[in-house]
Chain A
Amino acid sequence: MDDMRVAPLFRMEGVSKRYGGVRALEDARLDCSRGRIHAVLGENGAGKSTLIKIMAGVVQPDSGTMQLAGRPVVFRNPAAATAAGIVCIFQELSLLPDLTVADNIAIANPPRRYGLIDRRAQRRLAEAALARAGAEDIHPLAPVKDLPLSRRQMVEIAKALAQDPKILILDEATSALTAADVAKVFAVLKQLREDGLAIVYISHRMHEIAELADDCTVYRNGGFVATFAAGTKSDEAIVEMIIGREYKSVFPPKPAAKPLGPPALAITELSWAGQLKSISLAIRPGEVVGLGGLDGQGQRELLLALFGVLVGVTGKVEVGGKPVAVASPRAAKANAVGMALIPEDRKTEGLMLPMSVRDNLSFAALERFQQFGLIDRQREAAEIGEVIKLLQIRCDGTDGPVAALSGGNQQKIVIGKWLMTKPEIILLNDPTRGIDVGTKQELYQLLRRLADQGAAILFYSTDYDELIGCCDRVLVLYDGAIARVLEGGEITERNLVASALNLPAAHRHGVPLASVAQAPA
């Protein structure tokens, strides 16, 4: 630990950032040294993304300092950070869809001859970078928009390598990759470490950290928690640091008895475009069923298929025992089906951000408030008041724009919007991403309460703890098919991870991470 204190290549101290009234980062610290991989750990919304955006010049800190090789630096834009040798592979892709792979790889500083871009040299550069990233299968002239997500991610990595960074930052860079690609990327990263790069690696997969990291730093709730050398703390201790003490009893108790009766939603042999393969499942009223697995194994597509967004879905869907054909979200919302989908990205799929709290909350249920073609505003206001009270949405009246609210309250508005349609079947697509712990707890309580009132809930989460804590049953998806169904006591982090990687189920000895996290201290 001392050797990295001597001469860090990069040091960040006392950095803070607020968005509106929301604290994203407070008094952040980070040291990176040559030839070491530094893992930054934390939950979603812990401030990791803001931290690296500041490092990469995408956002400017409100206060604090950064030093590169001992000299203070300020990055006014991403180009400045790149010029200083800091290159970041972002979670939200920074590729230009209409340009070719080679154009993208060389975008920051293309090779030039007589002042013009030298396309042959660029081609060679791109091929070299792709080879270095272990992605020779990607053609340099292919337009990026035609590549699948996992290939784009590899292009993103190649693009970063082509810029010859001194410090390389990876933000959840492996989340969309196949297992084979992950292995390749790890080999590349280890080689880069040998070459003397400083690498900052963000992930919340513990086994990746264990395999790669030399140093670890933990963030929680926008604040710095600790930095330590990898291997000096047990997994249990690390998890405790990441989630904090307050996490212990967040989940409401699950009902002892399984709900009986006919399923509210039953699907048989559902398939779509090679990305969903013969999926069958049934959810009874009162059940909370989870979707697990690595990100990008068809969970989102399954929810979209049920909600009528996808074209060419085959298989049978039954609601309340009757076969239904849902060809649009409008049909899914209709009384005969009564479905609601809390979408993945609340900002672009759930909300009209500049519009008022009222307009957003009543939007999906407007049909109900119409009288002689006009909106009955009193009835609307009354019902909106009820929902705001039920979900404890903190807003200053209903006239203000949703954009001014915190992430957690925004998410509550998306959920409230759908509760106003009185749905029987609720589909949730990773609803707790980027919201604070307090709101998460409220959501867990709400889900269970809705289930107790007779709703059937299908819940996709990238957070294993949530699946463990909330769900009566978890379907683990792998490559578009159900790899395993976990029920009751089987829902453990070990089993979730093992089935997510499509490994044979682990035995239930040893200490499952999540159960430690929930055990009384």
Chain B
Amino acid sequence: MKDWNYRLAEQRGLILAIAVFTAMFAFYIAKHPAGLTANVATTAANKGVLLALVGMAQTIPVVTSGLDLSVGMVFVLANCVASKIMTGSPLATAFGALAVLAVGILCGAINGAVVVYGRLQPIIATLATGTIYYGLALALRPAPGGDINTDFADAVSGSLPGGIPASLVLLVGVVAVVWIPYRRSVLGRAAYAVGSSEQAAYMSGVPIATAKFLAYVLAGLFAAIAGLLLTCITYSGEASAAIGGSYTLNSIAAVVIGGTSLFGGSGGAIGSIFGAFVLRTIGDLLFVFDMDALWQPLFLGAVLLVAVSLGSFRLLRIKNRLELYR
């Protein structure tokens, strides 16, 4: 019985995010003129999963108390690479997909190397590497366009028999195959340890450098998967700084709404998935309420600020003001 209390307390942020999302989505579906058709679900899922994957990418560096401001640009780069090489025979398409993931991993490895071995602050280092990745994307795709194997794209962005969106299955697959094993691995725990207290982690013999490096590599991988999905949805590639920038910023918002502390050491990617879904549903809600889409950025900002400010209620419980100051 007591075990459950502790497990629930540990997942409080996640549970809250799930609850908020469920309420919002139920409301959305109830108000939607068409109800929950396969089409509505797939459109909503595709949008949500894109941001969810980028949010997952952001989560891992944040857990180590770092940050990756290049996730959006890796996402854009992967999109442009995919729109170049994922054509032709199924085999060629499959190799193309692997190459896209490899590009993401490479970008992540560069970030990791610069942050861990180059000892640069993640915020400025990844802002700069993000510019490089954007430049590469632009070199590949000076103008929007390109192509992708249509069968593959339809399979990934469409819906399965029974109306289940394929992208949602992809997301669940990524969680099951990458995130959960990582979370339970020694290096996954090391990431939490480093974020919680780097000094104590060092004293406890935790492999700090490897854990941080891997965090950025996985961020690159997740962002690349998202880029792949974007290509499948749009059938093309576009090197857009605006898309990259907004995905980076929204990924941070998704992480925070999903209950992961920006100070590191707690939270997780599953929370960020629901954080991302919450953010995406805000836009949908505006639509069913017949409000102008122009209200969306304002609502996004307000929801984000309210979400993070709610955390300030903990201040009321503080008995020793020294805890407020680093």
A347 at the interface (CB under 8 A from B): no
B310 at the interface (CB under 8 A from A): no
Complex interface: chain A residues within 8 A of B261 (CB): 98
**In the complex, which residue of chain A has the Cβ closest to the Cβ of B267?**
A98
A141 and B6 in contact, given A96-B196, A96-B204 (Cβ under 8 angstroms): yes
Complex interface: chain A residues within 8 A of B202 (CB): 77-78
Q: Write the nearest CB–CB distance from B265 to chain A, whole angstroms.
A: 4
B181 at the interface (CB under 8 A from A): yes
Q: Which of A226-234, A307-315, A384-392 contacts B (4 or more CB under 8 A)?
A: A307-315
A107 to B188, CA, bound (A): 11
Complex interface: chain A residues within 8 A of B197 (CB): 95-97
B2 at the interface (CB under 8 A from A): yes
A93 at the interface (CB under 8 A from B): yes
**In the complex, which residue of chain B has the Cβ closest to the Cβ of A115?**
B185
Complex interface: chain A residues within 8 A of B186 (CB): 110, 112, 117
Those of A289-320 within 8 Å (CB) of chain B: 301, 304, 309-312
**In the complex, which residue of chain A has the Cβ closest to the Cβ of B193?**
A96
A310 and B2 in contact, given A77-B202, A96-B196, A110-B186 (Cβ under 8 angstroms): no
B322 at the interface (CB under 8 A from A): yes
A341 to B56, CA, bound (A): 46
B322 touches A304 (CB 8 A): yes
A108 and B195 in contact, given A116-B181, A273-B319, A304-B322 (Cβ under 8 angstroms): no
A96 and B192 in contact, given A77-B205, A116-B181, A304-B322 (Cβ under 8 angstroms): yes
**In the complex, which residue of chain A has the Cβ closest to the Cβ of B264?**
A98
B2 touches A139 (CB 8 A): yes
A83 to B207, CA, bound (A): 13
A103 to B6, CA, bound (A): 13
A139 to B5, CA, bound (A): 11
A98 to B261, CA, bound (A): 10
A90 to B205, CA, bound (A): 13
B6 touches A107 (CB 8 A): no
B203 at the interface (CB under 8 A from A): yes
B3 at the interface (CB under 8 A from A): yes
Complex interface: chain B residues within 8 A of A78 (CB): 202-205
Size of B's binding interface in residues, CB under 8 A: 34
Complex interface: chain A residues within 8 A of B266 (CB): 98
Size of A's binding interface in residues, CB under 8 A: 40
B23 at the interface (CB under 8 A from A): no
Q: Write the nearest CB–CB distance from A355 to chain B, whole angstroms.
A: 16
Those of B181-238 within 8 Å (CB) of chain A: 181, 184-186, 189, 192-193, 195-197, 199-207
Those of B1-30 within 8 Å (CB) of chain A: 2-3, 6-7, 9-10
A98 and B192 in contact, given A117-B186, A139-B6, A312-B319 (Cβ under 8 angstroms): yes
B189 touches A117 (CB 8 A): yes
**In the complex, which residue of chain A has the Cβ closest to the Cβ of B318?**
A311
Of B3, B9, B322, the residue contacting A309 (CB under 8 A) is B322
A98 touches B184 (CB 8 A): no
A108 and B205 in contact, given A98-B266, A139-B6 (Cβ under 8 angstroms): yes
A103 touches B319 (CB 8 A): no
A96 to B184, CA, bound (A): 17
A279 at the interface (CB under 8 A from B): no
Q: Write the nearest CB–CB distance from B289 to chain A, whole angstroms.
A: 39
A22 at the interface (CB under 8 A from B): no
B6 touches A311 (CB 8 A): no
Q: Write the nearest CB–CB distance from A304 to chain B, whole angstroms.
A: 7
B314 at the interface (CB under 8 A from A): no
A173 to B52, CA, bound (A): 46
A117 to B180, CA, bound (A): 11
A96 touches B200 (CB 8 A): yes
B312 at the interface (CB under 8 A from A): no
B2 touches A95 (CB 8 A): no
A349 to B205, CA, bound (A): 28
Between A and B, 9 residue pairs with Cβ closer than 8 Å are: A79-B207, A93-B200, A96-B193, A97-B200, A98-B261, A99-B192, A107-B204, A110-B189, A117-B186
- Known contacts A96-B192, A99-B192, A108-B204; 7 additional CB pairs below 8 A are A58-B203, A79-B207, A95-B197, A99-B265, A108-B205, A273-B319, A309-B320
B interface residues, Cβ below 8 angstroms from A: 2-3, 6-7, 9-10, 181, 184-186, 189, 192-193, 195-197, 199-207, 261, 264-266, 318-322
A interface residues, Cβ below 8 angstroms from B: 58, 77-79, 82-83, 90, 93-100, 103-104, 107-108, 110, 112, 115-117, 119, 139, 141-143, 159, 272-273, 301, 304, 309-312, 328, 349
Top 5 nearest A-B pairs by Cβ distance? A79-B205, A98-B265, A94-B203, A141-B6, A98-B196
